[in-house]
């Protein structure tokens, strides 16, 4: 299993539309709006880091209104 927290910047005025699109992705377990440098944070859980990359690059970044993403990956001690 791979866990990623994706910080997402959204173009002004597109926040709700982008939120709804990302929330509909089956890989996104949680999604929250933020105040500050980033507009949204998504918790993505998939089988491996290759799939995490696919979700971020091909699904999240391809949504109209997504300006930038930054992905933080989970680790085990």
CATH of 2-73, one of 3.90.180.10, 3.30.70.920, 3.50.50.60, 3.30.930.10: 3.30.70.920
Beta-carbon contacts of 49 under 8 Å, excluding residues fewer than 6 positions away, are 2, 73
Domain boundaries, the chain: 2-73
Helix (H, G, I), strand (E, B) or coil at 72: strand
pLDDT of residue 49: 95
Per-residue pLDDT reduced to its tens digit, 66-77: 999 999 998 777
- What is the average per-residue pLDDT within 57-74? 97
């Amino acid at each position: 299993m791979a866990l990623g927290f994706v910080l997402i910047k959204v173009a002004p005025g597109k926040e709700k539309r982008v939120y709804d699109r990302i929330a509909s992705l089956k890989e996104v377990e949680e999604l929250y709006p933020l105040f500050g440098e980033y507009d949204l944070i998504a918790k993505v859980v998939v089988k491996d880091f290759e799939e995490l990359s696919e979700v971020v690059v091909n699904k999240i970044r391809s949504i109209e209104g997504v300006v930038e993403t930054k992905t933080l990956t989970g680790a085990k001690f």
